[in-house]
């Protein structure tokens, strides 16, 4: 295979992996393409839900004997341990695959080692093909493993002059129905939706997902139709996976639609709703406490409350709560990705402490002049301290724009927990 052919097949594996967004936590999403010895596609698979067969196993099952002497393209290094499923490295060996192409090495210390096992048994291994695209598609899980905390996407909607509400506090609706539907799609791909007590008291939001749309590749580095992928990666870049104990079901059969059979018992779930409420002021009648989704109220250690809700007590910090402790506690509850939808104060706190991993902004072609800014105090006293980001995507969505930006990556060293 030429480098161009390798890249093309890996791009397909990344695309397949994207179909797992929203159903795989606390495990990564993974895609796999298997070629026969003649270089023809023999099998495809992706991670659909935790506890099911891995992407490699799905693709190998579809390929059958055609996999012998062929090549497997996998978005994350095949796992080399036994959890709820067996090691993918041994499945590839048993299938007689002659070559394995990997996008990203598995950072999990207990799942890594698949590449070494394959090489030790005479299988040719090529690593690093489309690594950046695969990492981008699986950034939530990689943050979870490397930093030991949940990954945070901060979403806001604003006018072109950066206002999220008018002077009288009204904000419905700044952006279009198309943008709001997209927000629900992104919510549905997250493990938790986080809002502050100010938002709960002012708007009484329900914080649920109210769309049946597809979540595939919800925010994977590519642009919406007609949009611009700023980093040049293009397309819908899925995710990498197969670390801790990934479950990857739902193979793609010849002549079948992608995601058929996504499984048996692997339906979408409502994200956990999290309210950051240091003084426990959430009213018992708040809609966020209804039975439409699970809810967690994060309060201070010393908060006095008899609220009948699932409480998470955290240390006070910086006129609020210790947000990094919150993200670590959420990770301990298998929350890999957080969708932050609080007001400007909570958003400012997350930004100030370097806990925002991705920003999704919906900008409407409108001006307010006065009113509430989208972002509150973010620890910037002079222009030299501003938080610079890099645009990854600029996409039209209805009459509005969706902008996706990320700060410079911060290397992490603390691994997450195996599942």
Residue 132 catalytic? no
Catalytic residue among 15, 44, 56, 341: 56
Tokens read off for 164 = 């999220």
Starting at the edge strand found earlier in the chain, the sheet holding 272-276 runs 228-229, 389-397, 400-407, 358-364, 151-159, 337-340, 192-196, 272-276, 295-300, 310-314
Tokens read off for 153 = 């996407």
Strands 192-196 and 272-276: parallel
Query: Of 91, 114, 90, nearest to 104 (Cα)?
Result: 114
Q: What is the spatial distance between Cα 171 and Cα 364, in angstroms, rounded to a whole number?
A: 12
Say which residue the tokens 């006129």 belong to. Answer: 319
Starting at the edge strand found earlier in the chain, the sheet holding 41-46 runs 41-46, 31-35, 71-76, 99-104, 124-127
Contact predicate 113/82, CB 8 Å: no
Q: What is the DSSP letter of 110?
A: T
Residue 84 Rama label (left phi>0; alpha psi -120 to 50; beta):
alpha
Q: What is the spatial distance between Cα 226 and Cα 347, in angstroms, rounded to a whole number?
A: 29
Say which residue the tokens 């090495």 belong to. Answer: 105
List residues bridging with 359 in a β-sheet: 154, 405
Residue 349: HSE in the Cβ half-sphere, 13 Å Cα cutoff = 20
Strands 99-104 and 71-76: parallel
Count of beta carbons in the 10 Å neighbourhood of residue 94 = 11
Contact predicate 132/233, CB 8 Å: yes
Active site residues: 56
């Amino acid at each position: 295979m030429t480098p161009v052919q390798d890249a093309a097949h890996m791009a397909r594996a990344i695309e397949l992996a994207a179909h797992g967004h929203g159903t795989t936590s606390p495990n990564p999403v993974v895609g796999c393409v298997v070629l026969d010895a003649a270089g023809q596609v023999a099998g495809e698979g992706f991670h659909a839900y935790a506890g099911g067969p891995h992407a490699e196993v799905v693709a190998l099952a579809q390929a059958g004997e055609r996999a012998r002497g062929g090549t497997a393209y996998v978005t994350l290094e095949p796992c080399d341990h036994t959890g709820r499923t067996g090691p993918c490295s041994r499945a590839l060996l048993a299938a007689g695959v002659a070559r394995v192409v990997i996008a990203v090495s598995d950072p999990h210390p207990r799942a890594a080692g698949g590449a070494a096992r394959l090489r030790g048994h005479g299988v040719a291994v090529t690593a690093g093909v489309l690594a950046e695209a695969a990492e981008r598609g699986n950034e939530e899980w990689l943050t979870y493993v490397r930093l030991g905390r949940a990954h945070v996407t901060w979403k806001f909607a604003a006018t072109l002059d950066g206002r999220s509400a008018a002077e009288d506090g009204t904000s419905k609706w700044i952006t279009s129905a198309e943008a709001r539907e997209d927000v629900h799609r992104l919510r549905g791909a997250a493990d938790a939706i986080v809002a502050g007590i100010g938002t709960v008291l002012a708007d009484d939001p329900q914080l649920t997902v109210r769309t049946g749309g597809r979540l595939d590749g919800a925010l994977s580095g590519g642009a919406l139709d007609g949009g611009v992928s700023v980093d040049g990666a293009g397309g819908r870049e899925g995710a990498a996976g197969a670390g801790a104990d990934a479950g990857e079901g739902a193979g793609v059969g010849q002549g079948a639609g992608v995601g058929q059979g996504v499984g048996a018992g692997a339906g979408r779930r409502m994200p956990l709703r999290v309210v950051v409420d240091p003084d426990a002021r959430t009213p018992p009648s708040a809609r966020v406490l209804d039975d439409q989704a699970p809810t967690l109220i994060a309060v201070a250690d010393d908060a006095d409350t008899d609220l009948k809700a699932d409480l998470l007590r955290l240390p006070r910090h910086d006129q609020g709560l210790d947000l990094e402790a919150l993200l670590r506690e959420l990770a301990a509850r298998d929350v890999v990705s957080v969708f932050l939808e609080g007001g400007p104060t909570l958003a400012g706190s997350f930004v100030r402490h370097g806990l925002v991993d991705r920003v999704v902004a919906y900008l409407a072609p409108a001006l307010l002049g006065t009113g509430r800014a989208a972002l509150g105090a973010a620890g910037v006293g002079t222009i030299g301290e501003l938080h610079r980001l890099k645009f990854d995507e600029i996409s039209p969505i209805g009459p509005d724009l969706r902008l996706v930006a990320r700060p410079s990556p911060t290397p992490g060293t603390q691994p997450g927990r195996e599942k």
